[in-house]
Structure 1
């Protein structure tokens, strides 16, 4: 009888592809590295071709790329079956992989994680931090089970709106405008502007456009902590979401901008496949209307 692909082999493939290495995948799965290597090698024997390039990082071959979405679906479906059975026996268990942007991880998720831990103590939530434009891709590819999406378009039934996160000017506390109730973006023209290359760039450009002010950032910074450090050092000013508040040193402040700009946040499961009971239960536990934002001080 010809050998068949089994779930352990597919689970190993997904873990290595996501972790970028056999050792990290082994830690993720809670097995030995040799067990992961044997599972991938067995899969390759069944398929008759390599599915992974053994490098640093390990990455899928063209064949691996083609089968990876199906492997993710199989692994997710098996997890859903286990979750349904466990839920039937009483209470949510298992693991939910949740993706969110940096500022959401800093300013919003801590309160949500506390709520979820209190309501579902047997359920584990693992957080994956990513850029705004990565999150929907991860979600639909099956890399994560749920995500906090920024300015999501159409979302599936059961998605939970988490509210709006307004844009604020990031200033040193000794900046002349730091004590104002709000700041017109035109008043920031005399300062060097540091632009974060994350998902908020469009909101910032739109605010400047509506104000009729030329937008000419002096510096482009990829990492948000680097940007905050440069503003703190007096290099310039920036604009970022209110949820960045927990990341700020004491000598920096956030001041609302005019014209106002904001982004919407939505907690959702994937649009292209059924949600596991764990994801459904997690989203159902979110209490609408509760203020979890980090209000600027």
Structure 2
């Protein structure tokens, strides 16, 4: 069996089509069929079934996929290591990220990374917290910024505790208070964020045995800002999601502290490519430097 046969197999599994796999890899449909047939012959069983709906992987093929992915990953690691040894410092890293990290951290981290390693290509994939975890599990990204979870199935390194802040209209009566408790918020119309941090917001209310007076559930933080500015309710958001200045909105500390912990994760820190390892090291250094400054 050859590397190209394994690459063709994974691409057919991904696209569910011999034609699409060939287009992506620059191969004819005949070459794709030939590669799959030779791989099946080498393994001794059928990997792909073709029907009117396309191409689907067999149960035996499903069992082989993790091994083939691991082989191709090890080959890529070997190539990158060889390049590092010869001093070329070439490589590619794919990073999973979410909006607040993309805005607040990555411009600074990537500027330094590109200065130190100008020949390493960086690709960013932005998604939800759940999508990034899935990308890590499937190997779509090399590293990803995610939130700490109770049951985490990837390697995780905590970077920052991001405090939740209360957002009030500028004319709200509670603005004259320094610290505000959750129990003081139960009567106001509440705008619940729905982009992942709602779990932490709900935890705040649950810990005090009270329910928020939820009137709106909104995903986009800019829409939440607009609703608060319009006097339609109050909300709680992580500090990192907030811009430097908000018109007609006051941010307040909540006495019942709750944080979300942002970190960087990988399927296995011991198996990182040289490029991903350099990015991880620089990210840790930049975050620690920011904490001190």
Task: Give your verdict on TM over 0.5.
Answer: yes
Which one of 246, 259, 264 corresponds to residue 261 of structure 2?
A: 264
Between 1:225-234 and 1:74-83, the stretch displaced more is: 225-234
1:36 Cα deviation after fit: 6.0
Deviations along 1:80-124, one digit per CA (max 9) or x if unpaired, are 112101111226321111112332222222222222222222222
Say which structure is richer in strand: 2
Between 1:106-115 and 1:76-85, the stretch displaced more is: 106-115
* Structure 2 residues not aligned, in runs of 5+: 41-45
Aligned-partner Cα distance in 1 for 2:52–2:122: 30
1:37 Cα deviation after fit: 6.7
Residue 289 of structure 2: aligned partner: 290
Aligned-partner Cα distance in 2 for 1:16–1:174: 59
Between 1:46-55 and 1:139-148, the stretch displaced more is: 46-55
Aligned-partner Cα distance in 1 for 2:250–2:89: 41
Residue 26 of structure 2: aligned partner: 35
TM-score (norm: length of structure 2): 0.74
Q: 2:146 aligns to what SS in structure 1?
A: strand
Q: Does 1:142 align with 2:161?
A: no
1:166 Cα deviation after fit: 0.8
Aligned-partner Cα distance in 2 for 1:77–1:240: 41
Q: 1:249 to 1:40 in 2, by over 3 A?
A: farther
Q: CA RMSD, aligned part only?
A: 4.2
Residue 295 of structure 1: aligned partner: none
Aligned-partner Cα distance in 1 for 2:226–2:17: 32
Q: Does 1:85 align with 2:76?
A: no
Deviations along 1:137-191, one digit per CA (max 9) or x if unpaired, are 32132121112231156989x9643121111123444544457544332333233
Q: Does 1:7 align with 2:3?
A: yes
Which protein is bigger by CA-based radius of gyration? 2
TM-score (norm: length of structure 1): 0.73
Aligned-partner Cα distance in 1 for 2:122–2:32: 27
1:193 Cα deviation after fit: 1.8
Aligned pairs for 1:1-297 within 5 A: 4=1, 6-11=2-7, 33=24, 35=26, 38=29, 41-46=33-38, 47=40, 48=46, 50=48, 61=57, 66-90=63-87, 92-152=89-149, 160-177=157-174, 181-246=178-243, 250-271=247-268, 274-286=271-283, 287=285, 288-291=287-290
For the 8 Å contact 1:76–1:142, the answer to whether it is kept is no
